[in-house]
């Protein structure tokens, strides 16, 4: 399960990167300095935000990284510290939410929730 999730995450990242390169009209990434970190925002060809997160001075992922689908909904909320995966990661897959708990860049626990709620009819 862990390997499947990581493979899916890597594949999604590669596909999204390939789409960005293939379309020369896609907006270029935006880089901003915030609190000594570099905030990076990557976009879909439509101009919607694809992902946003931070790099430290050593060019390592750090802090919260968020990926979005083309409609603007969050698909992944990840946390890094000096390039290492840490803390809670949230992954939305349709009506499911996966919570991955990382310790020392390894998955320590996986929890899954499924939305089975329905709205009341008036």
Q: Note the pLDDT tens digit of each residue in 30-81.
A: 999 999 999 999 999 999 999 999 999 999 999 999 999 999 999 999 999 9
What is the CA 82 to chain-centroid distance, rounded? Answer: 16
What global pTM score does this model have? 0.72
Architecture of domain 2-114: Single Sheet (2.20)
Cα–Cα distance between 76 and 62 in angstroms, integer?
15
- pLDDT of residue 95 exceeding 70, the answer is yes
Q: Which residues of 64-91 are buried (b: 16+ CB within 10 A; e: fewer)?
A: ebebbeeeeeebbbbbbeeeebbeebeb
The residue ranges of every structural domain in the chain are: 2-114
% of residues, the chain, pLDDT over 90: 67
Report residue 114's pLDDT band, with 50, 70 and 90 as the boundaries.
confident
Over range 110-114, report the average pLDDT: 91
């Amino acid at each position: 399960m862990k390997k499947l999730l990581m493979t899916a995450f890597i594949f999604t990242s590669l596909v999204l990167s390939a789409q960005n390169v293939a379309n020369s009209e896609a907006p270029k990434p935006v880089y901003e300095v915030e609190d000594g970190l570099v905030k990076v925002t990557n976009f879909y060809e439509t101009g919607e935000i694809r992902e946003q997160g931070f790099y430290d001075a050593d060019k390592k992922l750090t802090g919260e990284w968020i990926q979005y689908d083309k409609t603007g909904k969050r698909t992944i909320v990840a946390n890094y510290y000096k390039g290492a995966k840490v803390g809670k990661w949230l992954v939305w897959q349709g009506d499911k939410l996966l919570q991955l708990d990382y310790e020392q860049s390894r998955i320590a626990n996986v929890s899954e929730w499924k939305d089975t709620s329905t709205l009341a009819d008036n």
